[in-house]
Structure 1
Amino acid sequence: MFLSSFTTKPARLAIPLVLSASVASAGGMAEPVVVPEPVAVPVAAPLPTGSDWTGFYAGAQLGYGQLKSDGLSTDPDGLMYGVHAGYLYDLGTWVVGGEIDYDISDIEEEGDDVALDSVLRGKVRVGYDAGDWLPYLTAGVASATTSGALDASDTGAFGGLGLDYRVSDSIRVGAEVLQHSFPEFDNNDFDIDATTAALRVSFEF
């Protein structure tokens, strides 16, 4: 009886120890898994892309002009209006092209009886593709025709700047300022300078 009691007591003590070891072993096999938090990846904003300005275009312009010359008593001014046509080629960042325009003029110096009848221009254009906007520089050759006391025509040069805006795939509006120079007009001893500013509407096709 004494041996039976002695033998049973250690057995009773061993059972909790075995159970504790089992629990500890099970906990070691099933360690918690740490899930890393998602990292935010920066997304670059889309860069602005230019428009394709390549193609033929034609349109009309309405503007204002003023003449200055030592051979005239005053600096006459008046309306100018006409038509233009050209071609542009889009190189990506830069846009190059050529244009011809023709203006009829209402400018007249009544005291000297000299009138500027018309101006024909051949232009070279270089612009920057800014999407729907096209700022540009232009220069070329101009032929002016006068009437009255100075009934003649002569050729000079001009330069200036302009800005076009694409309203739709086929319509553009813009503005242009030009400075002209006609030295010794028609072999006379005086030069004629002209400044013009115009609003333009062009149709692409």
Structure 2
Amino acid sequence: MIPLSLPHRLILVRHGETDWNREGRLQGGQDIPLNALGREQAAEAAGRLKALEPGFATLDYICSPMERARETMDILRRDLGLPAGEYRVDPRLKELTFGAWEGFTWRDIRKAEREQAHLRERDKWSFVPPGGESYRMLAERVRPVLEELQRETVIVSHGGVARAVLALVGAVSPLKASMVEIWQGKLLVVEGSKAEWL
């Protein structure tokens, strides 16, 4: 994969926690709302953004269309004192789809689909769950979004999307990207091929 060179700083925010996150269930394409901790994490991300970038009002804001991401963006903008709803929604920023595995925990899958789970552990980047998509496929979906960025941007999206971005800019290898922990309530700041948590 040829690394993508971003001319502007990108600030990634993963949506706040949902009950399915807490229970360890695969959400993927399921529209699960934030829980109370998730709403606190969205507010925490707003505070971090305000501290990082005094000119936050001039940034571009783009969001996944999924409920948990939009609720995170709405809280973030509310706490920054920015107009509600004045951000772009891009369906290409939806979470990695786990297909038939959505709603189950990894423990469930390892019991019911032992061989498939083992194959995924061997190559998380390229493995396609039944009816789902791989990180490689997700990266192909996300790459055009990054290529279209015109200025410094805040993207509120998902863990899978953040992993794809890390691989696309060359911050880590695709294999490592698929295993990176993506935190809620923090900012992942990407400049060139470097990424830093704040």
- Please state which band the TM-score falls in when normalised by the shorter chain: under 0.3
Answer 1 or 2: higher relative contact order, Cα 8 Å, separation at least 6.
2
Relative to total residues, which structure has the larger strand share, 1 or 2?
Answer: 1
Q: Which has the larger radius of gyration?
A: 1
TM-score (norm: length of structure 2): 0.26
